């Protein structure tokens, strides 16, 4: 049985940047989920809909990543052939 080490052999990340990601044993890298921004945009869209009766198209929110200690550094990594 092989033992894998986080950030040495494998990388682990989470989604939503919850408080548990910060407090975990591995100090998880996480995709930041901007809940407050999404809620504010949803409220604006709802108000516009109530005023105009028209539904606005989709919205794109660029992703953000909070880097912590659970991702392997591949900057000096050479790909294995074969």
Tens of pLDDT, residue by residue over 8-67, are 888 888 888 877 777 767 788 888 888 888 899 999 999 999 999 998 888 888 888 888
pLDDT at position 45 is 92
pLDDT at position 68 is 86
pLDDT-derived band at 73 (thresholds 50, 70, 90) equals confident
Tens of pLDDT, residue by residue over 6-19, are 888 888 888 888 77
CB 59 within 8 A of CB 38: no
Starting at the edge strand found earlier in the chain, the sheet holding 29-32 runs: 13-15, 29-32, 64-66
Q: Residue 70: is its pLDDT beyond 90?
A: no
């Amino acid at each position: 049985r092989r033992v894998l080490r986080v950030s040495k052999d494998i990388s682990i990340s989470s989604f939503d940047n919850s408080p548990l990601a910060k407090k975990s044993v591995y100090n998880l890298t996480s995709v930041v989920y901007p809940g407050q921004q999404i809620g504010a945009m949803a409220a604006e869209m709802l108000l516009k809909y109530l005023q105009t009766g028209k539904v606005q198209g989709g919205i794109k929110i660029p992703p953000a990543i909070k880097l912590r200690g659970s991702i392997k550094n591949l900057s000096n990594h050479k790909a294995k052939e074969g």
